Structures are given as C-alpha cells and as structure tokens.
Amino acid sequence: MSGVAVLAFSNSLLALDLGIIPLKAFSKLCAILLAACWLGCGPALADKRVALVIGNGAYAHKAGLINPPHDAADVTAALKRSNFEVISGADLSQAEMQDAAIRFSRAARNADVALFYYSGHAMQFNGVNYLMPVDAKLDDEADLKRFTRVDDIMNDLQQAKNLKILVLDSCRDNPLSESLKRSIGQSRGVMIRQGLSKIEAPLGTIVSFSTQAGQTADDGNGRNSPYTAAFLKHIEDPHEIGDIFREIGSDVYDSSGKSQLPELSLSIIGKFYLNGPVSINITPPAPSAPVDACSSAEAHWKAAESIGTIAAYDDHISRFPACSFANLAKARIEGLKQKAALATPAGAPSAAASGTGNFDGTWDVTVTCANQGSVLGYTRYLTATVADGVLRAEDQSTGKSNWLSMQGEIAKDGKAKLNVRGLTGDSKFSVGQIKAGSEYRYTVDAQFDGARGSGKRNEVRVCNLTFARK
C-alpha cells in the first residue's frame, strides 16, 4: 500500500497506510491505531474520486473577473494531489460548459466521491440558481437557457456512491441581472435577488457557498478570491471533511473583517477524510524473525473495548483465540446477550431478531431523477409510514396522472427492496415521452441506518432516493 488513508467512515476508527519505519517504533507508537484499523478499515485508496472545476472570468458582454481562472487552476492542482481525477476549464463558453458537465455526469456514475467547484458569476431567478458562461447575454428571461442550472449539477453529483461536494465561489453581484429586471418589468411576480438561493444538502452531500445565501462576495485583490484562498489553505489537511469546511468558513469570516460568512449545509452520516488523519510507515519483520501471535492482542483489545459491541468482541476472539483477553471478550459477549434478554419479554422475539419495529415511524422521502438526454429531471417529495418493518408511501390520488405508490419490507440490517408503481405525469419528464397517465413500475435498493436512509432506482433511468425519519 502507498500514500495516505483517504476516506474513513465512523465505523472505521482510523484508516492507516503502511510503509517504512523500524518495527520497535511501530509497536510503541502505533499499536492502538493499528488495532482500530484491524477492526474494519479496508484499503483507503480504493475509492474513485472525480471533480469538475470551472473558473469563468473573461466575460464577453460585461466587465470580467480576474481571479476565477487562477482559482480554477489552483483548486485543480490541489484536488489532483488528493487523488481526484479532475475535469477542469477556464473561461468556458456555453457549449464548453455543457460539454464539461456531460463528461462529469458520466464520470460521477462510477465514483465514490464527486466534487464540483465553480468560481465566477452566477445569479438566482425565481429561486433557481444559474452559473454564467463567458459568452452569455441576458436580454430577457429566454436567455437563461444559455446558463447552467445548479440543480442539474446537483443531480449529477448525486450519482456518486458516498460523498458529494458542491462548492460555489460565485456569489459576486451579477452585472446582467439589472438588464433582466428591466426586460421583465415590475408587473410579473418573479424574484431576482442578489446572491444565490439557499440549497439544502441532500443525504451524503456538502454544499458550500462563498457567502450567505442572498448576499454577495468579494472577488479579492490577490491571485485568489478570499474563499478560494481559504479553501486551498485547508482542503489538503488530514482532518474530517466537515471540520475542513468549517475551518474554511472561519478563515473567510476573519479575513473579511467579519463581513463575509460562507454558507454551509452538511448532510453526512459518519466521518469522511479526503486525506487521512494519520500516515504511518513500518518495515515488515524479517522472514526469519520469530512472530509473537499475541504481541498485538492488547492494542486490539483496547480498540474492541472502546466499541463495546458483540461484533467487536467476536472479532477479537477470532484474531487472538489463545491470548490473554480472549476469555474476557467471551465474558463481555455473554453479558451483552444477558442484558438484551432482560430487555425483551419472555417468549417475545427481540426487535433485533425479528427486524420489525427498528424503523417504524413517519419518514420524509425525496426522489431525485437526473436529466437523461432530452428527458427532464425532477425532484419529488412524499411521506412514508413504516409499521412492523413495512414501508408504505403514496402520492396523488389512485388512478390519476402523476400518482405514485411505494411499498417494501425493511430487513433488520436496514436493507430493503422497494416496489414502486405509478402513472406518468407530463411526458417531458418520462423516458420515451410516453403520454400522461401511462402505467410504470420499478424497484429500489435501499439501505436504512437509524433515522436516515438512501436508495437507488434499478430500472430505466438514474434516480436517487433519500429517507429521513421525522
């Protein structure tokens, strides 16, 4: 193995990468860390990371911005050092932005981590955020089709398996918004406000704006904008990703004299690292050196005790069956089993055994389907109830167009196969452009964990689902 540990979840205490230092130093300094790794960390460099980085400054129809091309170049270099495959561009036209977005969408399908970074002009119109290519003009509302919708980028990001990051260093005051206001006039009930509209992060996602929603940001006087300068300072740190973005926000706030506070929305379960918290090298023992099978038992035992679950103690027994802590591990397991038995009425199956009741309650369900060729994407919200481990949800009236029904059983480990059926709505949102009211069916593979869950549609098109217990 080589490099540093990259992506770690909360059920992996630390991710380590092994290389070259003396064995004695390893035993004194790293025993606890290696024990944590033995309890579940896999090779950290196996994750696939992709990023799209764009910096637009040379605008054809309005005064340009100096920093965005520099921002894009420096962010690209930093992400490559963190093992990202980067699609990058500076001063992109409408066609070039579309081409880059298409390449990114395809790359994100097989990615574990996907990141989008944009520096340049942007605006909101009726609550929808738009990114501005360098050849864009804005004589009237129709010209917004020349812009890139942030919602479309977000849909592409959601294809990644684990972590999705959206970064918009783009809240500069848009010079074209005034011409749009004049073309629309005051009679229509539309909203054109400064800055960007707030985006709530879907499950597994981080959304970071360079300043608060509805506010404008400073382009800065140096090579990089204040936000990008802070981003570059911290993004390669070996810290948890949520902490990194909080540090970025704190730096921007302080450096701006407390006038610019980045907007941050996180919806991640567990801990993620782009660069591991520890990088340790050891030398493997010489082939002739005697090996003490119990030399690492104490370190592993301390890690198992810190977790305190039957699975952790079982893992210790399987690794060190003849060592000093094996009997103590067996006693811990027996104690946990007795505690569980006392909590369950005699003759009644436990919740863990039956799987029913673990996820009972009311859940908010979000279905997000990405654009697919000429077929438009959409986001749909509905409410589900789970009773005795069975999820049921229904939206709209049975027999009417755009009706949807979802049902399936959630196993005790949180896995679920959900069956969805319904009737299509507007044909522009349906694959094949089939008429409204046509019947469709598909399945969803879902995973629930505590009060959260996620799922993916299996047939016809790419759709992601998130579940949140109320």
CATH of the domain at 56: 3.40.50.1460
Same structural domain for residues 225 and 101?
yes
Are 257 and 366 part of one and the same domain? no
Q: Do 263 and 384 fall within a single domain?
A: no
Query: Looking at 267, 282, 310, which one is the last position of a domain?
Result: 267
Same domain, 262 and 367: no
- Assess contact for 95 and 32: CB atoms under 8 A: no
Domain boundary among 267, 284, 315: 267
The verdict on 246 and 370 lying in the same domain is no
Q: What is the CATH number of the domain that holds 387?
A: 2.40.128
**Which domain-ending residue is among 249, 267, 285?**
267
> Do 74 and 217 have their domain in common?
yes
Which residue range is the domain that position 366 belongs to? 361-469
| Model confidence pTM above 0.85 | no
Which residue ranges of the chain lie beneath pLDDT 50?
1-45, 185-192, 278-286, 348-354
In a domain, 234, yes or no: yes
Instruction: Let me know how many helices (H) and strands (E) the chain has, helices first.
Output: 12, 17
Look at residue 216 in the predicted model and tell me its pLDDT: 66
Cβ 350 vs Cβ 318: under 8 Å: no
CA–CA gap between residue 354 and residue 333 (Å, rounded): 20
Same domain membership, residue 396 and residue 257: no
Residue 9 inside a domain? The answer is no
| Residue at 400 is within a domain | yes
Tell me what pLDDT residue 291 has.
58
Asked, for residue 426, whether it belongs to a domain, the answer is yes
* Inter-CA distances, 413 with 284, 300, 359, 422, 446, Å: 38, 26, 10, 28, 11
The answer to whether the CB of 146 falls within 8 A of the CB of 123 is: no
User: Torsion angle, CA of 92/80/165/88, rounded to 10 degrees?
Assistant: 10
- Domain assignment present for residue 421? The answer is yes
The answer to whether 68 and 183 are in contact (CB under 8 A) is: no
CA torsion through residues 265, 375, 132, 127, sign: negative
433, part of any domain? yes
Same domain for 97 and 246, yes or no, is: yes
Q: Are residues 90 and 234 in the same domain?
A: yes
- Tell me if 31 is assigned to some domain: no
- State whether 260 and 381 are in the same domain: no
DSSP of 18-71, one letter per residue?
A: ---S-HHHHHHHSHHHHHHHHTT---GGG--EEEEEEE----SSS---SHHHHH
Q: How many domains does the chain have?
A: 2
How far CA 177 is from CA of 180, 197, 260, 336, 460, in Å, comes to: 5, 14, 21, 64, 39
* Residue 32 resides in a domain: no
What digits encode the pLDDT tens for the residues 161-186? 999 999 999 865 555 555 555 555 44
Based on the domain organization, do 69 and 189 belong to the same domain? yes
